[in-house]
Amino acid sequence: MAYIDEAFATNWIAPLGKNVTEFENEMCVKTGANQAIAMSAGTAALHMALHYVGVGRGDVVFCTSMTFAASCNPIVYEGGIPVFIDSEPGSWNMSPAALRKAFRKYPNPKAVVVVNLYGQSADYDEILKITKEHNVPVIEDAAESLGATYKGQMTGTIGDFGVLSFNGNKIVTTSGGGMLLCKTEEEKAKILKWITQSRDPARHYQHTELGFNYRMSNICAGIGRGQLTALDERVAKKTEIYNTYRDAFSDIPVDMMPVCDYGVPSFWLSCMTVRGCDPVKLMEALEAENIESRPIWKPMHLQPFYEGCDYFMHEGDVSKGIFETGICLPSDTKLTQEQQNRVIEIIKAQF
Protein backbone atom coordinates (compact mmCIF):
# COMPACT_ATOMS: atom_id res chain seq x y z
CA MET A 1 0.00 0.00 0.00
CA ALA A 2 2.90 2.38 0.65
CA TYR A 3 4.05 2.08 -2.98
CA ILE A 4 0.50 2.51 -4.29
CA ASP A 5 -0.21 5.49 -2.01
CA GLU A 6 2.99 7.15 -3.20
CA ALA A 7 1.93 6.72 -6.83
CA PHE A 8 -1.37 8.46 -6.14
CA ALA A 9 0.23 11.15 -3.98
CA THR A 10 2.72 12.04 -6.71
CA ASN A 11 0.03 11.76 -9.44
CA TRP A 12 1.92 9.07 -11.38
CA ILE A 13 -0.83 6.61 -12.34
CA ALA A 14 -0.06 5.91 -15.99
CA PRO A 15 2.59 3.56 -17.45
CA LEU A 16 5.39 5.78 -16.24
CA GLY A 17 6.76 6.56 -12.81
CA LYS A 18 9.05 5.53 -9.99
CA ASN A 19 7.34 2.21 -9.27
CA VAL A 20 7.82 0.96 -12.84
CA THR A 21 11.50 1.85 -12.84
CA GLU A 22 12.13 0.48 -9.35
CA PHE A 23 10.16 -2.73 -9.97
CA GLU A 24 12.42 -3.40 -12.95
CA ASN A 25 15.55 -2.58 -10.95
CA GLU A 26 14.49 -4.70 -7.98
CA MET A 27 13.69 -7.65 -10.23
CA CYS A 28 17.16 -7.42 -11.76
CA VAL A 29 18.69 -7.46 -8.28
CA LYS A 30 16.50 -10.41 -7.25
CA THR A 31 17.12 -12.55 -10.35
CA GLY A 32 20.54 -11.38 -11.52
CA ALA A 33 19.08 -10.29 -14.87
CA ASN A 34 20.90 -7.56 -16.80
CA GLN A 35 17.77 -5.74 -17.94
CA ALA A 36 14.05 -5.93 -17.18
CA ILE A 37 11.00 -4.42 -18.91
CA ALA A 38 7.68 -4.28 -17.03
CA MET A 39 4.71 -4.99 -19.29
CA SER A 40 0.95 -5.43 -19.18
CA ALA A 41 1.14 -9.25 -19.32
CA GLY A 42 3.54 -12.15 -19.57
CA THR A 43 1.97 -12.88 -22.96
CA ALA A 44 2.99 -9.40 -24.10
CA ALA A 45 6.56 -10.05 -22.94
CA LEU A 46 6.71 -13.31 -24.89
CA HIS A 47 5.23 -11.58 -27.93
CA MET A 48 7.94 -8.91 -27.87
CA ALA A 49 10.70 -11.50 -27.48
CA LEU A 50 9.43 -13.29 -30.59
CA HIS A 51 9.08 -9.96 -32.40
CA TYR A 52 12.66 -9.03 -31.48
CA VAL A 53 14.19 -12.26 -32.81
CA GLY A 54 12.36 -11.66 -36.08
CA VAL A 55 9.62 -14.26 -36.18
CA GLY A 56 7.51 -13.62 -39.25
CA ARG A 57 4.97 -15.24 -41.50
CA GLY A 58 5.79 -18.88 -42.15
CA ASP A 59 8.66 -19.10 -39.66
CA VAL A 60 8.82 -22.26 -37.55
CA VAL A 61 9.08 -21.85 -33.77
CA PHE A 62 9.56 -24.81 -31.43
CA CYS A 63 7.54 -24.71 -28.20
CA THR A 64 6.91 -26.94 -25.22
CA SER A 65 3.58 -28.72 -25.77
CA MET A 66 2.46 -29.24 -22.16
CA THR A 67 1.81 -25.63 -21.20
CA PHE A 68 -0.86 -22.95 -21.16
CA ALA A 69 -1.90 -21.49 -24.53
CA ALA A 70 -0.21 -18.14 -23.72
CA SER A 71 3.17 -19.81 -24.35
CA CYS A 72 2.43 -20.40 -28.02
CA ASN A 73 -0.35 -17.98 -29.04
CA PRO A 74 2.13 -15.11 -29.65
CA ILE A 75 3.87 -17.28 -32.26
CA VAL A 76 0.64 -17.10 -34.25
CA TYR A 77 0.33 -13.33 -33.60
CA GLU A 78 3.53 -12.92 -35.63
CA GLY A 79 2.42 -15.31 -38.37
CA GLY A 80 4.74 -18.08 -37.24
CA ILE A 81 4.11 -21.82 -37.23
CA PRO A 82 4.27 -23.57 -33.83
CA VAL A 83 5.95 -26.96 -33.73
CA PHE A 84 5.39 -28.69 -30.40
CA ILE A 85 7.94 -30.61 -28.35
CA ASP A 86 7.08 -33.35 -25.86
CA SER A 87 8.06 -33.47 -22.19
CA GLU A 88 10.58 -35.76 -20.56
CA PRO A 89 9.19 -37.89 -17.68
CA GLY A 90 11.93 -36.89 -15.23
CA SER A 91 11.00 -33.20 -15.08
CA TRP A 92 7.77 -32.82 -17.13
CA ASN A 93 9.66 -30.13 -19.08
CA MET A 94 10.87 -30.01 -22.68
CA SER A 95 12.56 -33.24 -23.75
CA PRO A 96 16.03 -32.67 -25.27
CA ALA A 97 15.63 -35.98 -27.13
CA ALA A 98 12.38 -34.80 -28.74
CA LEU A 99 13.98 -31.42 -29.48
CA ARG A 100 16.77 -33.14 -31.43
CA LYS A 101 14.15 -34.98 -33.49
CA ALA A 102 12.48 -31.66 -34.32
CA PHE A 103 15.79 -30.13 -35.45
CA ARG A 104 16.37 -33.04 -37.80
CA LYS A 105 13.17 -32.17 -39.65
CA TYR A 106 13.32 -28.39 -39.17
CA PRO A 107 17.02 -27.41 -38.96
CA ASN A 108 16.37 -23.65 -39.06
CA PRO A 109 13.58 -22.65 -36.67
CA LYS A 110 13.43 -18.99 -35.74
CA ALA A 111 13.33 -19.62 -31.98
CA VAL A 112 12.72 -22.19 -29.25
CA VAL A 113 10.22 -21.37 -26.48
CA VAL A 114 11.05 -23.46 -23.40
CA VAL A 115 8.51 -23.48 -20.56
CA ASN A 116 9.50 -24.05 -16.93
CA LEU A 117 6.47 -26.06 -15.88
CA TYR A 118 4.76 -25.72 -12.47
CA GLY A 119 7.76 -23.96 -10.94
CA GLN A 120 10.57 -26.28 -12.07
CA SER A 121 13.33 -25.41 -14.53
CA ALA A 122 13.90 -27.32 -17.73
CA ASP A 123 17.33 -28.92 -18.30
CA TYR A 124 19.00 -25.95 -19.98
CA ASP A 125 22.50 -27.41 -20.33
CA GLU A 126 21.12 -30.08 -22.63
CA ILE A 127 18.70 -27.76 -24.44
CA LEU A 128 21.26 -24.98 -25.00
CA LYS A 129 23.80 -27.49 -26.27
CA ILE A 130 21.33 -28.34 -29.04
CA THR A 131 20.19 -24.80 -29.84
CA LYS A 132 23.77 -23.47 -29.99
CA GLU A 133 24.64 -26.11 -32.58
CA HIS A 134 21.95 -24.51 -34.78
CA ASN A 135 22.48 -20.90 -33.62
CA VAL A 136 18.84 -20.55 -32.59
CA PRO A 137 17.74 -18.19 -29.76
CA VAL A 138 15.98 -19.56 -26.68
CA ILE A 139 13.06 -17.74 -25.07
CA GLU A 140 12.66 -18.95 -21.51
CA ASP A 141 9.04 -18.93 -20.40
CA ALA A 142 9.55 -18.61 -16.64
CA ALA A 143 5.99 -17.44 -15.98
CA GLU A 144 5.48 -20.31 -13.52
CA SER A 145 8.99 -20.48 -12.05
CA LEU A 146 9.90 -17.11 -10.52
CA GLY A 147 12.03 -17.91 -7.47
CA ALA A 148 13.30 -21.24 -8.82
CA THR A 149 16.91 -21.93 -9.80
CA TYR A 150 18.80 -24.05 -12.30
CA LYS A 151 22.30 -24.99 -11.13
CA GLY A 152 22.28 -21.93 -8.87
CA GLN A 153 21.05 -19.50 -11.55
CA MET A 154 17.62 -17.90 -11.23
CA THR A 155 15.13 -18.98 -13.86
CA GLY A 156 14.25 -16.33 -16.40
CA THR A 157 17.92 -15.40 -16.87
CA ILE A 158 19.12 -18.55 -18.66
CA GLY A 159 17.72 -18.10 -22.17
CA ASP A 160 18.36 -15.20 -24.53
CA PHE A 161 15.13 -13.72 -23.20
CA GLY A 162 13.16 -14.57 -20.05
CA VAL A 163 9.43 -14.12 -19.59
CA LEU A 164 7.77 -13.57 -16.20
CA SER A 165 4.05 -13.41 -15.40
CA PHE A 166 2.34 -11.57 -12.56
CA ASN A 167 -1.14 -12.86 -13.27
CA GLY A 168 -3.44 -13.26 -10.28
CA ASN A 169 -2.54 -16.94 -9.77
CA LYS A 170 1.24 -16.49 -9.82
CA ILE A 171 3.62 -16.52 -6.87
CA VAL A 172 4.07 -12.75 -7.29
CA THR A 173 1.11 -10.86 -8.74
CA THR A 174 0.41 -7.32 -9.88
CA SER A 175 -3.26 -8.31 -10.52
CA GLY A 176 -2.19 -8.61 -14.15
CA GLY A 177 1.17 -7.94 -15.73
CA GLY A 178 4.45 -9.43 -16.81
CA MET A 179 8.09 -8.70 -17.40
CA LEU A 180 10.68 -9.42 -20.07
CA LEU A 181 14.24 -10.09 -18.93
CA CYS A 182 16.94 -9.42 -21.51
CA LYS A 183 20.72 -9.08 -21.80
CA THR A 184 21.55 -5.68 -23.25
CA GLU A 185 20.57 -2.01 -23.01
CA GLU A 186 20.07 -2.01 -26.78
CA GLU A 187 17.47 -4.78 -26.53
CA LYS A 188 15.64 -2.96 -23.76
CA ALA A 189 15.63 0.38 -25.58
CA LYS A 190 14.25 -1.17 -28.77
CA ILE A 191 11.52 -3.12 -27.00
CA LEU A 192 10.60 -0.14 -24.79
CA LYS A 193 9.98 1.89 -27.92
CA TRP A 194 7.79 -0.84 -29.45
CA ILE A 195 5.61 -1.27 -26.34
CA THR A 196 4.91 2.45 -26.09
CA GLN A 197 3.44 2.60 -29.61
CA SER A 198 6.81 3.08 -31.35
CA ARG A 199 6.65 6.83 -31.04
CA ASP A 200 9.64 8.50 -32.68
CA PRO A 201 11.60 11.25 -30.87
CA ALA A 202 9.86 14.10 -32.69
CA ARG A 203 7.83 17.09 -31.49
CA HIS A 204 4.76 15.74 -33.27
CA TYR A 205 3.38 12.19 -33.16
CA GLN A 206 5.43 10.22 -35.66
CA HIS A 207 5.78 6.47 -36.11
CA THR A 208 8.16 4.66 -38.46
CA GLU A 209 7.55 1.21 -36.94
CA LEU A 210 4.55 -0.80 -35.79
CA GLY A 211 3.90 -0.18 -32.10
CA PHE A 212 2.14 -1.93 -29.23
CA ASN A 213 0.44 -0.74 -26.03
CA TYR A 214 2.13 -3.15 -23.60
CA ARG A 215 3.66 -1.00 -20.82
CA MET A 216 2.85 -1.74 -17.16
CA SER A 217 1.09 0.94 -15.12
CA ASN A 218 2.75 2.62 -12.15
CA ILE A 219 -0.01 1.30 -9.85
CA CYS A 220 0.46 -2.33 -10.92
CA ALA A 221 4.23 -1.93 -10.57
CA GLY A 222 3.70 -0.66 -7.02
CA ILE A 223 1.74 -3.81 -6.20
CA GLY A 224 4.56 -5.87 -7.70
CA ARG A 225 7.22 -4.14 -5.64
CA GLY A 226 5.37 -4.98 -2.46
CA GLN A 227 4.76 -8.56 -3.58
CA LEU A 228 8.41 -9.09 -4.50
CA THR A 229 9.48 -8.53 -0.90
CA ALA A 230 7.54 -11.69 0.05
CA LEU A 231 8.90 -13.94 -2.72
CA ASP A 232 11.31 -15.99 -0.57
CA GLU A 233 8.66 -16.48 2.10
CA ARG A 234 6.17 -17.69 -0.51
CA VAL A 235 8.63 -20.12 -2.11
CA ALA A 236 9.30 -21.56 1.35
CA LYS A 237 5.56 -22.01 1.96
CA LYS A 238 5.02 -23.57 -1.48
CA THR A 239 7.87 -25.99 -0.76
CA GLU A 240 6.34 -26.92 2.58
CA ILE A 241 2.98 -27.61 0.90
CA TYR A 242 4.59 -29.86 -1.73
CA ASN A 243 6.58 -31.80 0.88
CA THR A 244 3.49 -32.31 3.03
CA TYR A 245 1.58 -33.80 0.09
CA ARG A 246 4.57 -35.95 -0.90
CA ASP A 247 4.95 -37.42 2.59
CA ALA A 248 1.21 -37.92 3.12
CA PHE A 249 0.73 -39.74 -0.18
CA SER A 250 3.73 -42.07 0.14
CA ASP A 251 1.45 -45.05 0.87
CA ILE A 252 -1.04 -44.65 -2.01
CA PRO A 253 -0.48 -45.14 -5.77
CA VAL A 254 0.24 -41.54 -6.77
CA ASP A 255 3.43 -39.84 -7.92
CA MET A 256 4.17 -36.22 -7.15
CA MET A 257 5.78 -34.19 -9.95
CA PRO A 258 9.42 -35.36 -9.97
CA VAL A 259 12.01 -32.92 -8.67
CA CYS A 260 15.30 -32.79 -10.56
CA ASP A 261 18.60 -32.52 -8.73
CA TYR A 262 19.89 -29.87 -11.15
CA GLY A 263 17.86 -27.10 -9.54
CA VAL A 264 15.53 -25.92 -6.79
CA PRO A 265 11.89 -25.45 -7.86
CA SER A 266 9.55 -22.76 -6.59
CA PHE A 267 6.78 -25.40 -6.37
CA TRP A 268 4.27 -22.93 -7.86
CA LEU A 269 1.71 -25.72 -7.97
CA SER A 270 1.84 -29.11 -6.25
CA CYS A 271 0.92 -31.62 -8.94
CA MET A 272 0.75 -35.40 -9.12
CA THR A 273 -0.17 -38.26 -11.39
CA VAL A 274 -2.45 -41.08 -10.31
CA ARG A 275 -2.16 -44.84 -10.85
CA GLY A 276 -5.20 -47.09 -10.75
CA CYS A 277 -7.74 -44.29 -10.26
CA ASP A 278 -9.35 -41.74 -12.55
CA PRO A 279 -8.06 -38.28 -11.53
CA VAL A 280 -11.50 -36.85 -12.33
CA LYS A 281 -12.85 -38.97 -9.47
CA LEU A 282 -10.43 -37.19 -7.13
CA MET A 283 -11.38 -33.77 -8.46
CA GLU A 284 -15.07 -34.53 -8.06
CA ALA A 285 -14.54 -35.78 -4.49
CA LEU A 286 -12.82 -32.47 -3.66
CA GLU A 287 -15.52 -30.46 -5.44
CA ALA A 288 -18.15 -32.18 -3.27
CA GLU A 289 -16.42 -30.53 -0.29
CA ASN A 290 -16.17 -27.15 -2.07
CA ILE A 291 -12.43 -27.59 -2.69
CA GLU A 292 -11.06 -26.65 -6.10
CA SER A 293 -8.43 -28.64 -7.95
CA ARG A 294 -7.45 -28.58 -11.63
CA PRO A 295 -6.35 -30.93 -14.38
CA ILE A 296 -2.76 -30.76 -15.63
CA TRP A 297 -2.35 -28.47 -18.67
CA LYS A 298 -3.85 -30.11 -21.75
CA PRO A 299 -0.91 -30.25 -24.19
CA MET A 300 -1.07 -27.84 -27.09
CA HIS A 301 -0.72 -30.59 -29.70
CA LEU A 302 -4.08 -31.94 -28.45
CA GLN A 303 -5.85 -28.58 -28.62
CA PRO A 304 -8.44 -28.10 -31.40
CA PHE A 305 -6.96 -24.75 -32.45
CA TYR A 306 -3.50 -26.27 -32.98
CA GLU A 307 -4.71 -29.43 -34.69
CA GLY A 308 -2.40 -30.14 -37.60
CA CYS A 309 0.72 -28.61 -36.02
CA ASP A 310 3.72 -30.89 -36.00
CA TYR A 311 4.64 -32.62 -32.73
CA PHE A 312 7.76 -34.51 -31.68
CA MET A 313 7.50 -37.12 -28.94
CA HIS A 314 10.05 -38.17 -26.35
CA GLU A 315 9.57 -41.96 -26.21
CA GLY A 316 5.83 -42.37 -26.48
CA ASP A 317 3.60 -39.39 -25.84
CA VAL A 318 4.80 -38.35 -22.36
CA SER A 319 2.84 -35.09 -22.06
CA LYS A 320 -0.41 -36.78 -23.11
CA GLY A 321 0.11 -39.43 -20.43
CA ILE A 322 0.76 -36.83 -17.72
CA PHE A 323 -2.33 -34.88 -18.77
CA GLU A 324 -4.56 -37.97 -18.68
CA THR A 325 -3.41 -39.06 -15.21
CA GLY A 326 -2.53 -35.73 -13.57
CA ILE A 327 -4.11 -33.36 -11.08
CA CYS A 328 -3.09 -29.95 -9.67
CA LEU A 329 -3.73 -29.80 -5.93
CA PRO A 330 -4.66 -26.77 -3.79
CA SER A 331 -1.34 -24.97 -3.36
CA ASP A 332 -2.03 -21.39 -2.33
CA THR A 333 0.33 -19.88 0.21
CA LYS A 334 -2.67 -19.05 2.43
CA LEU A 335 -3.49 -22.77 2.70
CA THR A 336 -3.58 -23.74 6.38
CA GLN A 337 -2.37 -27.06 7.75
CA GLU A 338 -5.96 -27.93 8.68
CA GLN A 339 -7.14 -27.22 5.14
CA GLN A 340 -4.35 -29.25 3.59
CA ASN A 341 -5.13 -32.15 5.92
CA ARG A 342 -8.74 -32.09 4.65
CA VAL A 343 -7.49 -32.32 1.05
CA ILE A 344 -5.20 -35.21 1.97
CA GLU A 345 -7.94 -37.11 3.82
CA ILE A 346 -10.43 -36.75 0.95
CA ILE A 347 -7.92 -37.96 -1.63
CA LYS A 348 -6.69 -40.90 0.45
CA ALA A 349 -10.29 -41.98 1.06
CA GLN A 350 -10.73 -42.53 -2.70
CA PHE A 351 -8.16 -45.32 -2.57
26 and 137: one domain?
yes
267 and 179: one domain?
no
192 and 89: one domain?
yes
**pLDDT score at 13:** 78
Kindly report whether the global pTM for this prediction surpasses the value 0.75. Answer: yes
CATH number of the domain within which 92 lies: 3.40.640.10
CA dist., res. 59 & res. 50, Å (int): 11
CA dist., res. 72 & res. 92, Å (int): 17
242 and 215: one domain?
no
175 and 278: one domain?
no
Max Cα distance, the chain (Å): 71
Q: Is the pLDDT of residue 220 over 90?
A: yes
214 and 242: one domain?
no
214 and 308: one domain?
no
Chosen domain end from 213, 228, 243: 228
pLDDT digits (tens, 9 = 90+) for 225-261: 999 999 999 999 999 999 999 999 999 999 999 999 9
Q: Single out the residue of 329, 333, 336, 40 nearest to residue 171, CA to CA.
A: 333
For the residues 1-21, what does the mean pLDDT come to? 86
Q: Single out the residue of 235, 279, 231, 236 nearest to residue 254, CA to CA.
A: 279
Write out the residue range of the structural domain in which residue 257 sits: 231-349
**pLDDT score at 14:** 74
CATH number of the domain within which 297 lies: 3.90.1150.10
Report residue 61's pLDDT band, with 50, 70 and 90 as the boundaries. very high
pLDDT digits (tens, 9 = 90+) for 151-164: 999 999 999 999 99
Cα–Cα distance list, 178 to 186, 231, 287 (Å)? 20, 15, 31
Which residues lie across from 294 on neighbouring strands? 328
CA dist., res. 89 & res. 96, Å (int): 11
Q: What is the mean pLDDT of the chain?
A: 96
174 and 246: one domain?
no
pLDDT digits (tens, 9 = 90+) for 63-82: 999 999 999 999 999 999 99
Which residues lie across from 326 on neighbouring strands? 273
Q: Is the pLDDT of residue 216 over 80?
A: yes
CA dist., res. 126 & res. 225, Å (int): 34
Chosen domain end from 195, 212, 228: 228
**pLDDT score at 94:** 98
- In this structure, what are the phi and psi dihedrals at residue 290, rounded to the nearest 5 degrees? 60, 35
201 and 333: one domain?
no
Structural domain count, the chain: 2
- In this structure, what are the phi and psi dihedrals at residue 48, rounded to the nearest 5 degrees? -70, -30
246 and 277: one domain?
yes
Q: Is the pLDDT of residue 17 over 90?
A: no
Coil, strand or helix: which one is 254? Answer: strand
Q: Considering the chain, what percentage of its residues have pLDDT values greater than 70?
A: 100
Coil, strand or helix: which one is 230? Answer: coil
Which H or E element spans position 333? none
pLDDT digits (tens, 9 = 90+) for 288-344: 999 999 999 999 999 999 999 999 999 999 999 999 999 999 999 999 999 999 999
Chosen domain end from 177, 206, 228: 228
45 and 74: one domain?
yes
203 and 97: one domain?
yes
**pLDDT score at 229:** 96
For the residues 198-217, what does the mean pLDDT come to? 95
